[in-house]
Amino acid sequence: MPIWCWRDDVDRPGNAERSGVAMGRMIDGVWVTETQIAADPDGAWRRAPSVLRDWVTRDGTRASDGLPGAIASDVYPAEAGRYHLYGAINCPWAHRTALVRVVMGLEDVIGLSTCAPRLTDQGWVFDAVSGFTDHLCGSAALHELYHRSDPGYSGRATTPVLWDRHREKIVSNESADIVRMLATQFGTFASQDAPDLYPCDLRDEIDALSSEIHDRLNNGVYRAGFAGTQEAYEGATRDVFAMLDALEARLGSVAGRAGHATDTPGPFLHGSSLTETDLRLFPTLARFDVAYHSAFKCNLRRLTDYPHLWGYAKRLYRHDGVAATADFDIYRRGYHSPSAKRNPLGIVPIGPQLDWATP
């Protein structure tokens, strides 16, 4: 069963959008509401980069195996009980960090607090009545945590967040960096059977494929859903399905792996080993048929129309701990919540009905 609950009267995402409020940001430490998720003048939607990008390393030094060279930003040592992860169940970027935490067996090492699955005029919020509590700081809204970390912060208050309890500061709000830190820097504290999600012989391949999947698929669905012109929408949607087609071929054909470090078929994208790439991809696949296909008009094909990719997604879902991080009903409701641009009446589809549990 999912580890999150749903109360229809309280937790339905997007209630703030009924009044036109979709997101907000902090300016000099003060929360300011905004009314639109806007595309750029050319019609394309471009994601704002994460700006809080310090690093946890094994021993707190600026050079550590598995991380990108000598680190210029601030560094923190990996310690059990020192760090806390903040996420939201309907946020795919937070989902990938929760997946790595579970797969590496770090649940008792790194705490977790989950925002309520909705955006309000205060952005991401907590709701103790529904079971979504900031177990560490007692915040009512995520932006309070950003202010606590830096009273003069300007920028988005997004999930995920990796928080340092000792310095009461945000280490990072970049999901890819948090994934890499949890996968490579907490090995001393991971379970004995934890996989090597970033093996040395596959690192170049992992980096290249993860980057391509991010640009064309993970972020591509949002470029399609938030596009401001037909041309921008069609370009983004073609990227999405070109990437899905390539992944289907990769999973289904030995020939499709020619030239890669793993040239034999396996259950995962890089062969027999579960890697960081798989866990970065799964949140998008989990949301595809119930959300992106309809809400973001990525409807050339469904995930279930790709036999190898659909089978692969279900293998990941059956991996220990993964199913407990997913809630397809919340995805379906959340992405179809009231939106002046995408769904003004807030009508939520009753399907599709998918069986993720069977091989």
- Structural tokens at position 254: 């030995």
Q: Is the distance from CB of 225 to CB of 342 less than 8 angstroms?
A: yes
Query: Which candidate in 83, 91, 233, 306 is catalytic?
Result: 91
Q: How far apart are CA 31 and CA 315, in angstroms?
A: 42
- Structural tokens at position 290: 């119930």
For 141, phi and psi rounded to 5 degrees?
-140, 150
Q: How far apart are CA 52 and CA 65, in angstroms?
A: 21
Query: Which candidate in 222, 306, 312, 335 is catalytic?
Result: 222
Q: Is the distance from CB of 254 to CB of 264 less than 8 angstroms?
A: yes
Q: How far apart are CA 97 and CA 94, in angstroms?
A: 5
**Helix, coil or strand: residue 120:** strand
DSSP state of 303: G
222 assigned to active site = yes
- Paired with 133 in beta bridges are none
Which of 123, 117, 164, 162 shows the shortest CA–CA distance to 142?
123
DSSP E strands, the chain:
23-27, 30-34, 55-57, 75-77, 83-88, 111-115, 119-120, 123-124, 161-164, 169-172
- Map tokens 């949301």 to a residue: 287
Q: Is the distance from CB of 322 to CB of 102 less than 8 angstroms?
A: yes
91 assigned to active site = yes
Cα-to-chain-centroid distance, residue 201: 26
Active site residues: 91, 222
